[in-house]
Structures are given as structure tokens and as C-alpha cells.
Amino acid sequence: MKGYRLLVACPDQPGIIAAISHVLARNGCNITSFDQYSEGPDGLFFMRAEFDLMANGEKGHEVLGKEFDRLAIEYHMQWRLTERDRAHHLAVLVSREDHCLNELLWQTEQGDIRAEIRVIISNHGDLRELAEHFRIPFYHIPVDPGQKAQSEEKVHQLVRDYRIDTLVLARYMQILTPEFVSHYPARIINIHHSFLPAFVGPKPYHQAYQRGVKLIGATAHYVTAELDAGPIIEQDVHRVDHRHQLDDFKRIGRQVERIVLARAVKWHVSDRVLVYGNRTIVFPI
């Protein structure tokens, strides 16, 4: 048996679950997990299912694809079918801070995040030793003034060479160009060190400290052309008060950032995040 995951989004109407279940049953699939969320009449329908299919090469996958193409026309449906046990390939982009990268390295090594970090890319050389410790290829690609396009083309080439599925910005302190981002829709995950939409842009801890907030947080989101405005995957916060100084904000925030980013990557690689417009549906574990 071969395992698959199916994600579906479409306008809500009666009969959707029955139609999908009928396709799966007719093709010898055994559903092992099923979750759906409906916003009711005139709203939207979202679904995630896992199922086993008798392994028979690519034929079964192709047949299912044709069946879901037919349903997509009938129900105005967006759908995605992935192999459950296929290794998900990650490229992690970093600058100088190592806390988020360390968390991703540890969780992938332990199997908590079921993915493989195939390459680490940085605009600085500081974290080369860490990458070498984990025996992961490290590439230092400086981003010099006026040379961003050339630097991004080098990243493109590494993505192709290492057959990368998803890019993770683990405190990569560079703004990617819209041209670069357009190549990877819902395939670049960023961690922003604030509880978005508050304190967008640079130095959010400075902004939060000056504002005197009582909660600081972190937000993992998909990267779009608009800075820090992509679909949000996960967020968390930590309480602070007047006794905490700016360095305390940063220290506490690093703990939140690493966990929030790891959760987002874990959910993404296990096909639990469905993007619809500028929002996400995150199916629970």
C-alpha cells in the first residue's frame, strides 16, 4: 500500500464529501484520516484526508488525478495530492543568528519534523561551522548593494540543484525581491519577530519596547511580494512588563521564534496547511 494526502478547497455545497469518498472507494483507497471544515451555505469548504492506495506504479496516482480534475470542474475545486512518505526537501536561509536554525536542525534530526534539510544558505559566513557539524552543505552568498539579483540567481540555482521543495527563512535578514518570491508561491516560510500585523518591518523588538507592549510574539507566515503580509501559519506570544528591557525582549523573543517557526515548518511539510487567498486553514494534528 502507498500513502497519500489530499487537500481540497471549494465553495461549500451538499455532496462534496460523498463525491470525494466515492472516488476514493471506487479506486480501492482506504481512508486513514479525515478532517473537514465548512463555513456553511454560501461559504467555503476545506478538507484534508490521508488514505492508502494499492501500490501499482504511477497508474493509480494518474487515475486519481483525472478523477479529481473532473470533480474540480463540477465543484469549482482546488485540490492537491501528495505522497505521504516522500521526503520533503528544505533549504534554510540564515544570516548570523542561529537559534531558529538550531531548532530546525534538532527537530529534523529527531524526526519531529519529517523533512530533510538539504542545504543551508547565508549572506554571512558565521554559521558555516554549525552546518558542517550536521554535515549539511553550506553556501555563503553575500548580498552586496546593487547585486541582489545576482545573489538571488545563485539561490535559484541551488534550489534547482538540491531539488528543494520549501525555503525556510530562519532569521534571514534580507528582503527577497518580488521576482524571486513569484517563483515559489506558498513555498517560502518566514519567521517575523513580532505578533503580526503589529510592528511590521525592521527592528520590531525596538518598536515594541518603545510602545510599552505587555505581550511580545512571533509569526510564521508564507512570503509574498508585500513585506510581512503573507498568509499566517502560526503565532505565539510571551508576557512582558515594565521591568523587561530591550535585551530581555530579544532574549525572550528568540525562544518564541524558534518554536513558532518549527511548528509552521512541521505543519507545512505534513500537508496540514491549506492556503486560500491570504489566509490559511491549518488542520490539527
Which residues have a catalytic role annotated?
228
Return the bridge partners of 234, or none: 220
Return the bridge partners of 239, or none: 215
| CB-based contacts of 226, cutoff 8 Å, min separation 6 | none
Query: Which strands make up the sheet holding 44-53, listed edge to edge?
Result: 30-38, 44-53, 2-11, 78-83
> What Cα–Cα distance (Å) separates residue 141 from each residue in 99, 145, 151, 277?
20, 13, 6, 32
Measured distance CA(174)–CA(176) in Å, rounded: 6
Number of C-beta neighbours around residue 148 at 10 A: 16
| CB-based contacts of 157, cutoff 8 Å, min separation 6 | none
Report whether 202 contacts 217 (CB < 8 A): no
Measured distance CA(219)–CA(224) in Å, rounded: 14
What letters, b where the CB count within 10 A reaches 16 and e where it falls short, cover 252-267? bbbebbbbbbbbbbbb
Question: Which DSSP string corresponds to 110-121?
Answer: HTSS--EEEEEE
Measured distance CA(93)–CA(62) in Å, rounded: 35
